[in-house]
Amino acid sequence: DAGVIQSPRHEVTEMGQEVTLRCKPISGHDYLFWYRQTMMRGLELLIYFNNNVPIDDSGMPEDRFSAKMPNASFSTLKIQPSEPRDSAVYFCASSLRGRSEAFFGQGTRLTVV
């Protein structure tokens, strides 16, 4: 398996624009996580899904953030409108049955100018 695949790897956008980050989890994994990493706040869980259903979105910072998982092999994280403080590295991870280890993608480095 190719692992968790995220796209794009880098994204630079202007403030106010919509940004969509994409993730393909490992085939067969039933949990999918979105994290944000910054120097100031470290690694933060934004939202996670189980069998395509959002379980906990309490980490989503504002209504500008939304995430979907239309099927078992694809998820998106959307920011609309984007702001400079959204600049961070966003990671997607997947796992099997929760208690096993999480596998992370390479991340998307988002810069909002």
Kindly list the residues in this chain that would bind another protein in the complex (CB under 8 A): 4, 31, 33, 42-43, 45, 48, 50, 55-56, 91, 93, 95, 97-107
User: Which of residues 7 and 81 has its CB atom nearest to another protein in the complex?
Assistant: 7
User: Which of residues 48 and 65 has its CB atom nearest to another protein in the complex?
Assistant: 48
Angle (CA) 93 17 31, round 5°: 15
Question: What is the C-alpha to C-alpha distance for residues 74 and 96, in angstroms, rounded to an integer?
Answer: 16
The answer to whether 18 and 87 are in contact (CB under 8 A) is no
At closest approach, how far in Å is the CB of 84 from another protein?
Answer: 22
User: Which of residues 59 and 81 has its CB atom nearest to another protein in the complex?
Assistant: 59
Backbone angles phi, psi at 85, to 5 degrees: -70, -5
